[in-house]
Structures are given as structure tokens and as C-alpha cells.
Amino acid sequence: MALAEWFLSPSERGNPATRLDSRHTPATGWTEGNLVHPLVHGATYFAELLARVGELERGDLLLFVDWRGDPDERLTGESGSEVAAVFAAAARRGVDVRGLVWRSHWDRLAFSSAENRTLQEDVNAAGGQCLLDMRVRTGGSHHQKFVVLRHPGRPERDVAFLGGIDLCHSRRDDAAHEGDPQRQAMAAAYGPRPPWHDVQLRLTGPVVGDVETVFRERWEDPQVTSRSPLRWAGDALHHDRVRPTPLPPQLPDPAPTGPHPVQLLRTYPRRAGGYPFAPRGERSVARGCAKAVRRAESLVYVEDQYLWSPDVARTFGEALRRNPRLRLVAVLPHRPDQDGRLSMPPNLVGRDRVLRHLRDVAPGRVAFYGIENAAGTPVYVHAKVCVVDDSWASVGSDNFNRRSWTHDSEVSAAVAHEGYARGLREELVREHLGLGDAEPAPGIEDLFDAFAARAAALDRWHREGRSGPRPPGQVRPVHDPALGRLTRTWAEVAYRYVYDPDGRPLSLRLRRRM
């Protein structure tokens, strides 16, 4: 595979200030010789994370970045496996524990400022260093989710976990999709214990050094972690560290472990004061996805929480127009995560615009599905996955919307390898279609029709009163409720400026470029 045809070159990344490309000789935008393993479902990821952190010894390094961290979330359901307890125990053993957690907005706005602060306090009390990081664009967030474990003298143990799974409530679900007993408040459609679908990656090999570099660039940012005097007063009352202490020197990258080439893609906004590692921001998530989608010939397979933005619709729409053979299948939430009268319409109006646009561009060649568990409860799709022609695949923290492509901090891992991309897509598809062990997963030429058949059968079973055995599979077509003209009018404004804002420099906005 010609990697330069799939991956971004340093010039295409458009951010010469980052060390992510220049740290390689010669300067390239990716690493080779890695082993990437998808960890589908939060329960799978949490169990492995607990085991790996438990093996850390004095002098080892634990780096973690999160959007939301619930200190009491149990990684395995057992007492003592709480996130804060596990990280604090590592710090007390002499592990160098460093964390960057988004400071978050107020809990009254359905965010997590109290939980994130408690996680910080618990880790710091044990001797670690966890910072509440508000170095974001106004109204934005640090949305990255990854963990890096380094072992001086034992580099064969080095590993990074990166993807869409936060260390918080509702994430510890499995293939049965009965939900996490430690639930997050969500829309009533998801029931008292919301089922959750998500993906994280386990990465070994030289790419671990790249993931660590993402952490180090943020950690070494000399700006204070918040520009708000009110936040400073709160920090003083809580005796929070305002500036971090230096990290130990970065170890050499681990030796090759497998056949997978990996490129890290990121989003940072253009913000006042700028990031020293991205003074005009970085939009390689958007650029990397667009480059891969432009090469699509047969199938683009997507799983995403928010398929919202006109910029995303344009990226997919142009590819569908160029190639009349190309098809798009997207697995999305059946309903937004919140169902309030003010919160739900902006969610729906953004997605409705994108879905209608793509259906108009490629009638009969695009399909959008939600998933449900065996009891018929919708499963909330939080995964952020894109697979192009079983050749290129990305998994990360970024959604398919303008906020993730321009406004918040994001990171994803793109892999250009046919065996990996096909394996990831088949693992996800086998679950959604309810395939038995002996049933082969459909290929990219057959997948569109396979989804349509399973979804039609399950939809028919529901319409007929659930009479007889339940058909196999989880997929049903997405049917969003219609919005009235007045609701749509105000929801469009809220969607554009609050839910899906633009973090690009003005010059790029005017030229409609990423």
C-alpha cells in the first residue's frame, strides 16, 4: 500500500509547530511497525487498562487525558477497581502519574466539573499530578481520551490506549448491551441503565512515542490552565497546582511490534494566545478523513455519535457524486443523549440537514441505522469510527461534526492496512448483524444489502407486535421526529453557534477550507 496516498504529509497536516512529524527522521507524518488492536466495548477496555496499570512499578510513567473522569467508576465492577483508586494506588507505589482532565462547565449544564475536580484531588492527594485544563477556545472543551504507559528498562511493556471511551459512568458495557450499573443521566428512550456502544484502541510499537508527544505538548504549554479570575480563586481555595512540574525526559520509541502503519490526527482550534504547538490550530482530523474519503471506491462505513456538520456532508457528498458505485453506511444513535425541550431540537436539526443532503446526493446509496439490544432498548452509539474500502480506518475521540473538526481538542489514530481495516469493520458488523460464529461477515460489496435486509426484518417484527422469534441483529433504520417550523428556526441558531461552532481562523472560514 502506498502510504503517502492515504496519510497526510507534514505539509498537508498544516501545523509546522508540532513535534509530531519532525520527531521522525526523515520527517514523516506517521510511524510503521505497530500493532493496533481494537477494544470494542468499555468493559473490554477497562479490564485491560486495570490489568496494565496494576503491573506498573516505581519509576514507570502513567499519562492520562480525558474529557470526563468519574472517580468512582469501577473498571471491572469490583470494589477497589474505581478509576481514582487505581490511579492513586499507582502513584503511591512510586509510579509517576500525570493527568490532563478538562476542567468542564458547570454540572447544572449537564457537564462534569465536580466529578473531574474530585478525580484530580484524589490523584494529587496520592502524589500524582492531575491538572484541570481549561486552555480551550471559549465554549470549547478538551475532548481527547487516551492513556500512555511507559516502563523505563522494560520498553516491551509500553502501550497506549486511544479512542472514544472516557473513564466515566455509562461506559462499562459489553456485547450484551445491558448497560453500565453506574449510569449517566440520559434521554428516557435509553432506559434506567442506558446501553452503550464504543471503541478504544490498544497500540504498541513506535506509535506509543507519538501518543506520548501529544500529551507532552499539552503538558508543556506555559499558559495557565485557566484565564478566569473566578477559576483562580477556586483553585486557591482547593490548593490546586496552577503550573505543572516538568516531565522526565522522553524515552526512545518502543521497538516495532507489528505490521500496522499509524498516523495520529488531531484537532486544535485557533484560540486567543494560541497553543505553542499549534498557533493557528490544527485540523488534521478533518484533512486526514477528507483525503481518505476522496479515495473511496466501494464503501465508506461510519459509526458516530454526531453526524451533523455541512462540512462533513460536503466531504461525503463530493465523494458520492464523483463515484456512482460508492455507498455509505452509517451507524448512529437512534435518539440524542438528552431529550429536553431545549436540548433535543438542536441535536436533531443538525443531523436532519446532513442526512437529507446525502440522501439527495446519492439516493439509494446511503443508509443510516441505529442499534438496539435484545430487549428492544436503543443502544447509544458513542463510537467514532470510519473505514474506507477496508483499506484505511480511523478510531478516535472526534465526531463527524464541525465542533470536532475545528473547535475542540481531539485525537484519532488512522491505520492504512487492509487486514486491520477489514478486521475492524467485520468485528463491528458481525455484532450489529447478529452473525453466528460460523457465518461469514459480508464483504464491502455486500454489506449495504446485508444491513438493509436485517434492518427490514427487525423493523417488520416490531411493527407486527413482536410476534414470533426476534430476528437476529441490532440494526433498525434511523427515523428522527419531525420538527415544526418555529422549533426548527430557533434550533438552527442554537445548533450553529452553541452545539456545532467553528474554531477555524477567519481566512479559512471565508474560503470554506479546513
Q: Which residues contact 8 (CB under 8 A, 6 or more apart)?
A: 29, 263, 265, 284, 287, 288, 291
Range(s) of the domain holding residue 234: 25-261
What pLDDT sits at residue 239?
64
Domain end position, chosen among 210, 241, 261:
261
Residue 217 included in any domain: yes
Q: Are 178 and 325 members of one domain?
A: no
Using a 10 angstrom Cβ sphere, with 0-12 exposed, 13-18 middle and 19 or more buried, the burial of residue 314 is: middle
This prediction has a pTM of 0.95
CA distance 17 to 10: 10
Examine the pLDDT at 316 and tell me if it is beyond 60: yes
pLDDT in tens, 169-228: 999 999 999 999 999 999 999 999 999 999 999 999 999 999 999 999 999 999 988 766
pLDDT in tens, 467-502: 999 999 999 999 988 899 999 999 999 999 999 999
Residue 162 included in any domain: yes
Q: Are 161 and 294 members of one domain?
A: no
Indicate the average pLDDT of the chain.
Answer: 93
What pLDDT sits at residue 106?
54
Residue 72 included in any domain: yes
Residue 16 included in any domain: no
Residue with grid cell 431545549, as numbered in its chain: 342
Residue 391 included in any domain: yes
What pLDDT sits at residue 110?
44
- Transcribe 174-192 into DSSP letters: -TT----SSPPP--GGG-S
Q: Are 417 and 354 members of one domain?
A: yes
Q: What is the mean pLDDT of residues 153-165?
A: 98
Examine the pLDDT at 230 and tell me if it is beyond 70: no
Q: Are 248 and 284 members of one domain?
A: no
What pLDDT sits at residue 11?
95
What pLDDT sits at residue 86?
98
Residue 17 included in any domain: no
Domain end position, chosen among 227, 261, 295:
261
| 3-class DSSP state of 46 | helix
CA distance 50 to 75: 7
What pLDDT sits at residue 87?
98
CA distance 163 to 411: 8
What pLDDT sits at residue 405?
96
What pLDDT sits at residue 343?
86
Residue 1 included in any domain: no
What pLDDT sits at residue 228?
60
Q: How confident is the model at residue 114 (pLDDT cuts 50, 70, 90)?
A: confident
And the C-alpha cell for 336?
Answer: 440524542
Backbone dihedral angles phi then psi of residue 365, each to the nearest 5 degrees:
-120, 5
Domain end position, chosen among 240, 261, 282:
261
Q: How confident is the model at residue 112 (pLDDT cuts 50, 70, 90)?
A: low
Strand 146-150 to 61-66 pairing = antiparallel
Examine the pLDDT at 349 and tell me if it is beyond 90: yes
Q: Are 234 and 322 members of one domain?
A: no
Q: Are 154 and 251 members of one domain?
A: yes
Q: Are 327 and 430 members of one domain?
A: yes
Q: Are 142 and 120 members of one domain?
A: yes
Mutual orientation of helices 310-322 and 344-361 as an angle, nearest 10°?
Answer: 10
Q: Are 380 and 496 members of one domain?
A: yes
And the C-alpha cell for 41?
Answer: 466495548
What pLDDT sits at residue 233?
56
Q: Are 193 and 311 members of one domain?
A: no
Residue with grid cell 440524542, as numbered in its chain: 336
Q: How confident is the model at residue 109 (pLDDT cuts 50, 70, 90)?
A: very low
CATH number for the domain spanning 421: value is: 3.30.870.10
Q: What is the mean pLDDT of residues 344-355?
A: 92
Q: Are 229 and 291 members of one domain?
A: no
Q: What is the mean pLDDT of residues 374-398?
A: 98
CA distance 385 to 273: 32
And the C-alpha cell for 469?
Answer: 422469534
Examine the pLDDT at 9 and tell me if it is beyond 50: yes
Q: Give me the percent of the chain exceeding a pLDDT of 90.
A: 84
CA distance 165 to 443: 28
Q: Are 279 and 398 members of one domain?
A: yes
Q: Which residues contact 414 (CB under 8 A, 6 or more apart)?
A: 6, 7, 262, 263, 264, 265, 288, 292, 392, 393, 394
Q: Do the Cβ atoms of 287 and 8 come closer than 8 Å?
A: yes
Provide the number of structural domains found in the chain.
2
What pLDDT sits at residue 508?
86
Examine the pLDDT at 314 and tell me if it is beyond 90: yes
Residue 176 included in any domain: yes
CA distance 199 to 192: 22
pLDDT in tens, 25-59: 888 899 999 999 999 999 999 999 999 999 999 99
